[in-house]
Structures are given as structure tokens and as C-alpha cells.
């Protein structure tokens, strides 16, 4: 499992000229599922998303506070293309988790994040549909987090994955 975390001043999803979900200050998380991910990977990623230190503390010391510490919002977006390989110049997605199972994992990820943090502050970026994402980076600050399973996969992977 892989998550790309971006610190934002605001973010919104646009679907058919409507805005079904938006956040103010917080993080926008793009998450992708590897076909061999487990619930253990899911729990690891949720804990990391909520605990990674992206913000300064009250004394302006950088990297001391998490989104939870600051009581900010979280927008989570499913991102199928995160687990790509390459066949020449063409992306290949044979390592990406399939649609139905991926949707189950995404739904569980949203539920776990809301249980571990705050039902109202964790927003669902709408699974599996074409949409536009607008965000205003804060910094910019962007981090990539891999679950332990995907780290093991990377070390045995002959085709280089890029994001």
C-alpha cells in the first residue's frame, strides 16, 4: 500500500461541476493498493497518515506536530495509478489491486481513519470515478509512505515503479 501525503491550505473534489467534498487546512492523501496488500498494511498506512509530523509546533520548530495534533482535516482520494510499472513508455498496472477488492480496502481505510481520528475531519474523496482534484499546497510539503509489504515488494521488483 502506498500513500502520497500533501500538506494543503485547502482541497476540493469536483464531480460533474459540483463539489461533493472539500477541506480547509490539512492534508490531501492519495492512496493506492497493491494486489497483495493485507489489513495489516491498511492499519499501518492509516496510523502513519494520522501520526506523521508535518507541522511546526507553537515554538515554530518544524516537523513536530501531526494533522491530529493540529486538529486539521484529511481528504483521502483513491489513486489507482500509484502502483504502476512500465512497459517501455506505457504504464502497466498488473501490481495494482483489482476494483472490487480495492473499493473494500478504500472503504475500510476511510472507516479506520475516522475511528482513529474524527468522523467529521476525515473526508471521503469518492472512490473509483473520474473527477477533478484541486488543491493548494502548503509549503509545498509532500511525502510518500509505503506499507511494509510494499517495501518488501520494491526490493524484489525488477521493473522500476515511479509515481
Question: No. of H helices and E strands in the chain?
Answer: 3, 8
Q: How far is CA 37 from CA 96, 102, 150, 153, in A?
A: 10, 10, 8, 10
pLDDT for 163 beyond 50 = no
Q: Where are the domains of the chain?
A: 2-155
For 144, counting Cβ atoms within 10 Å of its Cβ (0-12 exposed, 13-18 middle, 19+ buried), the class is exposed
In this predicted structure, which of 4-8, 22-26, 158-162 has the lowest mean pLDDT? 158-162
3-class secondary structure per residue, 100-158: HHHHHHHHHHHHHHHHHCCCCCEEECCCCCCCEEEEEEEEEEEEEEECHHHHHHHHCCC
Q: Give 2-155's CATH code, choosing from 3.30.1280.10, 3.40.50.720, 3.50.80.10, 3.50.50.60.
A: 3.50.80.10
In this predicted structure, which of 15-19, 62-66, 105-109, 116-120 has the lowest mean pLDDT? 15-19
Contact 48, 1 (CB under 8 A): no
Contact 29, 9 (CB under 8 A): no
pLDDT for 62 beyond 90 = yes
* Coil/strand/helix, residue 20: strand
| Residue found under cell 494533522 | 67
Q: What is the pLDDT of residue 126?
A: 86
Confidence of residue 150 (pLDDT cuts 50, 70, 90): low
Confidence of residue 160 (pLDDT cuts 50, 70, 90): very low
Peptide bond just before 10 cis, omega within 30 deg: no
**Percent of residues, the chain, with pLDDT higher than 70:** 91
pLDDT for 128 beyond 90 = no
Amino acid at each position: 500500500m502506498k500513500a502520497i501525503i500533501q500538506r494543503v491550505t485547502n482541497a476540493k473534489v469536483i464531480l460533474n461541476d459540483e463539489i461533493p467534498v472539500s477541506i480547509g487546512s490539512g492534508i490531501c492523501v492519495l492512496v493506492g493498493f497493491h494486489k497483495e496488500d493485507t489489513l495489516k498494511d491498511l492499519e499501518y498506512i492509516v496510523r502513519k497518515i494520522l501520526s506523521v509530523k508535518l507541522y511546526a509546533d507553537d515554538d515554530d520548530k518544524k516537523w513536530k506536530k501531526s494533522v491530529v495534533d493540529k486538529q486539521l482535516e484529511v481528504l483521502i482520494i483513491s489513486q489507482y495509478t500509484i502502483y504502476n510499472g512500465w512497459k517501455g513508455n506505457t504504464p502497466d498496472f498488473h501490481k495494482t489491486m483489482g476494483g472490487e477488492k480495492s473499493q473494500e480496502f478504500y472503504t475500510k481505510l476511510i472507516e479506520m481513519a475516522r475511528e482513529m481520528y474524527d468522523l467529521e475531519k476525515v473526508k471521503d474523496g469518492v472512490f473509483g470515478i473520474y473527477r477533478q482534484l484541486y488543491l493548494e499546497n502548503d509549503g509545498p510539503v509532500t511525502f510518500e509512505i509505503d506499507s511494509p509489504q510494499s517495501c518488501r515488494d520494491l526490493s524484489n521488483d525488477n521493473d522500476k515503479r515511479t509515481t
